[in-house]
Homo-oligomer: A and B are copies of this chain.
Amino acid sequence: MLDLLTSALNPRSVAIIGASDNIHKIGGRPIYYMQRHGYQGAVYPINPTREVIQGHKSYASLAALPEVPDLALVVVGGDKTVAAVEECAARGVKSAVVIASGFGETGPEGLEQQRHMVAKARAAGMRLYGPNTQGLANFGTGAIAGFSTMFIEVPPMDGPIGIVSQSGGMSAMAYGLLRGRGLGVRHVHATGNEADVTVGELALAVAHDPDVRLLLLYLESIANPEMLAAAAAHARARDLPIIAIKAGRSAGGQKAASSHTGSLANEDRTVDAFFRHHGIWRVRDPHEQARAAQAYLKGWRPEGRRLVVISNSGASCVMGADAADDEGLPLAELSPETQRNVAAQLPGFATASNPIDITAALLSDSGLFGKVLPAVAQDPAADLFFLNIPVAGAGYDVQAFARDAAAFEAATGKPVAVAAWQESVAEPFRAQGIATFPNEGEAVGVLAQVAQHTELMRRARVAWPALPDVPLPPGQDGGFLNEVDSLALLAQHGVPTVPLRLVRSAQEAREAFGAIGAPVVVKACSPEVPHKSEHGLVALNVASADEAAALFERFWLKMGDMGVARDGVIVAAMRRGRHEFMIGARQDPVFGPVVVVGDGGKNVEAMKDCAVLLPPFSAHEVAQALRTLRIAPLLDGVRGDPPLDIAALSALAVTIGQVIAGARGSIASLDLNPVLVGAAGEGAIVVDALVERAGA
């Protein structure tokens, strides 16, 4: 990382290949920016047609420089781009930033050229940024190897925020929005096509800058999650929050992303799980990044989610309570003592319970805010404070309100957010450093975001030290294990599975029925018929040995007619649970082992009521994830039913996660459906399972 930090983000010297004297040109702007923003290193314009460029001596070629520069900014286009990169590599340049587009995003030919440049760079130990990028900018050092016009539109100011983005447009937009809020920004880096360096790696480098206290990312595809995970781990270790956009959430968006940078699509629910797992907060756009920034920089790390709403308007109390509900923040239940203390400050017709309606009495007593806040602050039930001021103006001492709010926040350390749409009301609060928003949705949304993000960042992280060894029975790569082998594999790892026998004759079917006892399930067993119920090869509630024998004959013949491998027929105990769940696991091509747990049965695919978890995870995290399902209300038992054995189901999901992670790529997927879950204490049992071998 120190490599990247020194050679790219803090280079001792920068060459501009294709330098221009015109500061409005891409080859001219970086030189102008470096002069303007105090870059202390050497700047080497390379342009054989000029003697001097923007006051710097201009050189004819890289070879003509007095030293090998740390960083080369390649501004020339077309074939010259490739030649310049080759020369940089050959001469020992440490980092090359390639601006030109027309590579990987245009098709196979461009991709080939892009790969060629990376190969040359790697062979020489040079790192490559781009191509198709706006470049890098570090306002801490003035090293600006980029050309964004936004640095002219909105003047830079160094500060505690880092931006790392695939898209130059989005990095410029985030920068502009943050600066518009008066916040300083140090790093504004775009990675473009990510032929070599990705957002993840650059984020890891920026996370090592000790002055950065908030890190904002924009991604269109995640090709390299390990690096992003490493960045997140380093950030968490030093309490550095990361807020990420991952665009291409929808099918249409992924298609557009693919034609934009030639990137592969990520499954969006897995992206969500990845971010959650690593304590990264996901938002939709740079506006959401910018609007929350101040709250993070203030160091808000709330202990809980319980919100107190205070307003001078009854309607705004109602809307504040609605917004709390929208955002999953419970209203703090103030103690009777707190309510008495608050009531003592308020006129008779005001409301002292939460939301606290101090009414238009604020107009006649400007000290009300300052009196009510400390009365509430005593209450341990209050984690977060929201002041909703829909109307104020002539006659209101807004300056006093703002001073009181700031004093309260300073004294208690508890987050205070204000909603005020009138600039005349918002401005005094902003001047006191209070986080101020135009409406309750944004204010409460940011409070909720920081509270939930803090929980994610501080979540206890489990380790799975000794993963089981998972030998598969011999068989063809890419195929399925039959149901008996699949269940046996699970049983080896301690997973409760239904008692069964694999039979190969009617007589064996009778014997199995006798041994297992009525009622039984009879089902065909073939690795080539994974979805046997769709072929009529499952019979439930079989009540006699004769019936079991007859079903054997029928299924055996049917499999023969279908021309599939006949491993036998399964006679299994017929079990019922209180609810059918499913547990799935697969090797994601990008994210590796992924576990899915959710509502089971035949409609799993259609209903998609499941949660995604990335290993390693704890049973507690599974139980939490189950609470996000649509069937969550059923977990506690409905209409007099006992609660379900979520502990057993969660433990089972952990085991499955350990199996797929332990298989180290030999298992492509596991599908356990249904998993019958009984009442608490009754356990969970797997009735059907399908294990898919990894491809050749």
What residues make up the interface of A, taking CB atoms closer than 8 Å to B? 24, 101-102, 105-106, 148-150, 152-153, 166-167, 169-170, 172-173, 176-177, 218, 220, 247-257, 259-261, 284-285, 287, 313-322, 324-326, 331, 348-349, 351, 353, 355, 357, 359, 390-391, 393-395, 421-422, 424, 438-441, 531, 534, 602-603, 605-607, 609, 630-631, 633-634, 638-640
Contacts and interface: CB of A to CB of B under 8 A. Distances in A.
A257 B318 contact: yes
Given A153-B422, A322-B252, A349-B101, A24 B394 contact: yes
A220 B315 contact: yes
Contacts of A351: 256, 259-260
A214 to B, nearest CB: 19
A151 to B, nearest CB: 10
A348 B603 CA distance: 45
Contacts of A353: 259
A169 B320 CA distance: 14
A210 B475 CA distance: 79
Contacts of A172: 390-391
29 contacts: A101-B349, A101-B359, A102-B349, A149-B393, A152-B393, A152-B394, A153-B424, A169-B314, A169-B316, A169-B391, A173-B390, A173-B421, A177-B421, A220-B315, A220-B318, A247-B315, A247-B319, A249-B325, A250-B321, A256-B357, A259-B314, A284-B319, A284-B441, A287-B441, A534-B640, A602-B638, A606-B638, A607-B630, A609-B630
A58 B563 CA distance: 104
A395 B106 CA distance: 26
A150 B631 contact: no
Given A177-B421, A259-B357, A607-B634, 17 more contacts: A24-B394, A24-B395, A148-B391, A152-B394, A166-B315, A167-B315, A169-B314, A169-B390, A170-B316, A250-B325, A252-B324, A255-B321, A260-B315, A603-B633, A603-B634, A605-B638, A606-B633
A167 to B, nearest CB: 3
A537 B422 CA distance: 64
A319 B253 contact: yes
B285 A150 contact: no
A318 B390 contact: no
A449 B284 CA distance: 19
Instruction: Determine how many copies of this chain the complex contains.
Output: 2
Nearest to A393: B153
A486 B316 CA distance: 46
A252 B24 contact: no
A529 B254 CA distance: 55
A630 B630 contact: yes
A510 to B, nearest CB: 23
A314 B284 contact: no
A519 to B, nearest CB: 12
Given A150-B391, A260-B315, A349-B105, A247 B322 contact: yes
Contacts of A247: 315, 318-319, 322
B321 A252 contact: yes
A317 B607 contact: no
A349 B421 contact: no
Contacts of A284: 319, 322, 441
Most chain B CB neighbours (cut-off 10 Å) among A318, A351, A357, A638: A318
Contacts of A315: 166-167, 169-170, 218, 220, 247, 260
A176 B421 contact: yes
Contacts of A531: 639
Contact of A253 (B321, B359, B534): B321
Contact of A422 (B176, B257, B607, B630): B176
A218 B390 CA distance: 14
Nearest to A313: B169
B424 A287 contact: no
Nearest to A167: B315
A106 B318 contact: no
A287 B421 contact: yes
A254 B106 CA distance: 56
Contacts of A349: 101-102, 105-106
A106 B357 CA distance: 13
A566 to B, nearest CB: 23
Contacts of A319: 247, 253, 284-285
Contacts of A24: 394-395
A285 B419 CA distance: 12
B260 A167 contact: no
A520 B284 CA distance: 55
A325 B253 contact: yes
A106 to B, nearest CB: 5
Contact of A318 (B260, B395, B441, B633): B260
Given A153-B394, A252-B324, A255-B321, A631 B607 contact: yes
Contacts of A285: 319, 439-441
A312 to B, nearest CB: 8
Given A152-B394, A394-B152, A631-B607, A602 B318 contact: no
A549 to B, nearest CB: 21
A222 to B, nearest CB: 14
A634 B106 CA distance: 40
